Amino acid sequence: MKIVVIGAVAAGLKAAARARRNDPAAEITVVEKGKLISYGACGLPYYVAGDVQDIGQLMTTPAGATRNPAFFKNVKDITVLTETLATGIDRAARQVTVKDLASGEERQLPYDKLVIATGALPVKPPLPGVDLANVFQLWHPDDAKAIREGLERGRFANAAIIGAGLVGMEMAEALKMWDVNTTIIEMKDQVFPAFLDEEVAGSVAKYVREQGLTVLTGEKVEKFTGDGAVQAVVTDKRTVPADLVILAIGVRPNVELAKAAGLTIGPTGAIAVDGGLRTSDDDIFAGGDCVENTHLVSGEKVFVPMGSTANKHGRVIGDNIFGGRETFHGILGTVAVKVLDMNVAKTGLTERDAKRLGYEYVTAMIGGHDRPHYMPEAKLITVKLIAEAATGRILGAQAFGTGEVDKRIDIVATAIVLGGKVGDLLDVDLAYAPPYSPPLDNVAVAASAVQNKLAGKLKGISSLTAKEKMDGKTVFLDVRTPEECKQQGCLPYENVQYIPLGQLRSRLAELNKGDEIVALCKISLRGYEAALILEGEDFDKVKVMEGGINAWPFECKK
């Protein structure tokens, strides 16, 4: 069998390697337009930051072998043609036209099965000055090498990052490591607009600003200015000095070859594939960042390019080429990102998604340490859980904090894939020991909060709803100690009343039963206890501000 693969990064080479395991005799040829293959693009920001010293490490096996054409030929008997561009697919003749970019020579590669793994392309806005020197798109190792070389030589004093998504925020951390004055400019009204809800994003942005980075949201870039090299970014609101610009405004699927061949393109603009990753032509498979996926909760077709998904695609394709019946069921859009000492993660639907799709849902946001507070490594995290109100089916979750959030999101992602409900998160027998987690894991606490809401035992409101009430007649009852308020900051509003929890029962006369009261503390666990005390004393308008002051996304006063 002759197998041709177009694209030699994640999905393409994974499919080729899997195909080789299935058939030692197959003739496998991989075509790649660039010089480099099989590189870990997700590691590029960490090379720029200096965490990865040698960029070649992003192209090696764990044993240290460089993944180059010679490696794939010698170890896997796969022919990789670099600097070779696929220019056309003749489906009737079953052949691919390729062009040697060095010599200009064209030829045809016949195939029995074809794999398209052309990936995605970074979006480059058609703005004045976008082609000035030192305006980069971090999409290829060559970009990362040029940026780091400039940093090592001290060429950059002020940087502007256009886009507050994954790459943009990771690069903000990288530039912070080099003490470069960095401004993040995002057209949407929040950071991580693709996968975080507003109040979670607000808390992340607040932290980033506290670390000395400038975050400008709701601001549109109009042009770049400079004499030969970029010197400033002009937005609709201001001019930002910048001798380094990183364009991180997203990617689009690279589907031109597939489209020209008459293959079906899906509603997302990416290649449409079935569960076995076959295109509309049974002899052509496609995977990686050029295809669309099915969201496992909503059933919608989505375009969410991720290296993890691309590798899974390659495995399925490599089996199904030989008649396998492997199915790629879909994705949850699970992501994790580190921004300085803040960890952020998400899986499934956001609350915004759930509302758009018409779900009747309930959310709960809880804060707590990622392991017992007495452990020296204990750090705070906040978890937001979203569930269907009628059934308790888990729809999604988000988490942020300086503690470990990835394993909490992985727990929820696993539960969603297995059809789990909120109660299942309480039933799962998770590993417990003080160095790893609290006795009742944060995810279980979030699930309990959702159940309490569904049962009417917890009347919680989000920080966004609380903000709307701050200038009204609602009384905000802060039950922290005075020392905590000094350390953590206070809400800058007149309708906040401070009564430490231990004094609440003896000072009930200071509160009016006719007022709406919102209780809070550092993470609102004591706030919930305060609400129960008040309800036991016939206060009937009591709520809790979920997540407490730790999840308050706005400014506090010290």
Q: Does residue 125 sit within a domain?
A: no
Q: Does residue 373 sit within a domain?
A: yes
CA distance 54 to 59: 10
Give the 3-state secondary structure of 428-468.
CCCCCCCCCCCCCCHHHHHHHHHHHHHCCCCCEECHHHHHH
Q: Which among 151, 172, 143 is positioned nearest to 41, based on CA atoms?
A: 143
Residues 76 and 165 in one domain: no
CA distance 26 to 140: 31
- Whole-number percent of the chain with pLDDT over 90: 97
Residues 42 and 116 in one domain: yes
Q: Does residue 242 sit within a domain?
A: yes
pLDDT at residue 471, as a whole number:
80
Which single residue is written with the structure tokens 């990288």? 174
Element (DSSP H or E) covering residue 107: strand 106-110
pLDDT at residue 145, as a whole number:
96
pLDDT at residue 382, as a whole number:
98
Contact 247, 122 (CB under 8 A): yes
Beta-strand runs (E) in 318-370:
335-339, 342-348, 361-369
pLDDT at residue 493, as a whole number:
87
Q: Does residue 557 sit within a domain?
A: no
pTM for this prediction:
0.95
pLDDT tens digits, 518-543: 999 999 999 999 999 999 999 999 99
Residues 69 and 107 in one domain: yes
* CA 399 to each of CA 233, 331, 425, 504: distance values in angstroms, whole numbers, following the listed order: 33, 18, 15, 31
pLDDT at residue 283, as a whole number:
98
Residues 245 and 295 in one domain: no
pLDDT tens digits, 412-434: 999 999 999 999 999 999 999 99
Mean pLDDT, residues 253-272: 98
* Paired strand residues for 476: 496, 518
CB atoms within 10 A of CB 225: 14
Domain boundary among 426, 454, 482: 454
Residues 173 and 272 in one domain: no
Contact 327, 27 (CB under 8 A): no
DSSP 8-state secondary structure symbol assigned to residue 103: T
* CA 262 to each of CA 1, 91, 280, 282, 347: distance values in angstroms, whole numbers, following the listed order: 24, 9, 9, 13, 34
Q: Does residue 505 sit within a domain?
A: yes
Residues 446 and 354 in one domain: yes
Domain boundary among 415, 434, 454: 454
- Whole-number percent of the chain with pLDDT over 70: 100
User: What is the DSSP secondary-structure string of 471-525?
Assistant: TSSPEEEE-S-HHHHHHH-B---TTEEE--GGGTGGGGGGS-TTS-EEEE-SSSH
Tell me the helices (H) and strands (E) count for the chain, helix number first: 15, 30
pLDDT tens digits, 323-365: 999 999 999 999 999 999 999 999 999 999 999 999 999 999 9
pLDDT tens digits, 50-101: 999 999 999 999 999 999 999 999 999 999 999 999 999 999 999 999 999 9
Domain boundary among 431, 454, 477: 454
CATH code of the domain in which 186 resides: 3.50.50.60
Mean pLDDT, residues 431-447: 97
Q: Does residue 331 sit within a domain?
A: no
CB atoms within 10 A of CB 280: 17
Q: Which of 42, 290, 490, 521 is catalytic?
A: 42
Helix, strand, coil content of the chain in percent (nearest 5): 30, 25, 45
Residues 267 and 241 in one domain: no
Q: Does residue 43 sit within a domain?
A: yes
Angle at 430 between CA 429 and CA 433, to 5 degrees: 125
Token pair recorded at residue 549: 């002051």
Token pair recorded at residue 2: 């002759």
CA distance 285 to 263: 11
**77-99: string of b/e by CB count within 10 Å (b at 16+)?**
ebbbbbebbbeebeeeebbbebb
Residues 152 and 245 in one domain: yes
Confidence of residue 492 (pLDDT cuts 50, 70, 90): confident
pLDDT tens digits, 238-255: 999 999 999 999 999 999
Beta-strand runs (E) in 155-270:
158-162, 181-186, 214-217, 221-225, 232-235, 239-241, 244-247, 251-253
Residue 372, domain extent: 341-454
CATH code of the domain in which 505 resides: 3.40.250.10
Residues 223 and 141 in one domain: yes
Residues 176 and 94 in one domain: no
Confidence of residue 472 (pLDDT cuts 50, 70, 90): confident
Q: Does residue 556 sit within a domain?
A: no
Mean pLDDT, residues 103-118: 98
Q: Which among 146, 237, 132 is positioned nearest to 186, based on CA atoms?
A: 237
Residues 174 and 100 in one domain: no
Confidence of residue 555 (pLDDT cuts 50, 70, 90): confident
Average pLDDT, the chain: 96
Residues ≥6 apart with Cβ < 8 Å to 126:
none
CA distance 384 to 546: 9
The amino acid at 518: V
Residues 377 and 280 in one domain: no
CA distance 388 to 435: 33
pLDDT at residue 536, as a whole number:
96
pLDDT at residue 160, as a whole number:
98
Mean pLDDT, residues 462-479: 92
Collapsing DSSP to helix, strand or coil, 270 comes out as coil
pLDDT at residue 147, as a whole number:
97
Residues ≥6 apart with Cβ < 8 Å to 506:
none
**234-270: string of b/e by CB count within 10 Å (b at 16+)?**
bbeeeebebbbbbbbbbbbbbbebbeebebebbebeb
Known catalytic membership, residue 485: no
How far does the chain reach from its first CA to its final CA, in angstroms?
Answer: 71
Residues ≥6 apart with Cβ < 8 Å to 285:
15, 113, 114, 115, 116, 273, 276, 277, 278, 279, 317, 320, 321
* CA 165 to each of CA 6, 190, 345, 356, 536: distance values in angstroms, whole numbers, following the listed order: 28, 10, 12, 21, 46
Confidence of residue 235 (pLDDT cuts 50, 70, 90): very high
Number of domains in the chain: 4
User: Helices 11-22 and 69-76: crossing angle, nearest 10°?
Assistant: 20
CA distance 469 to 6: 57
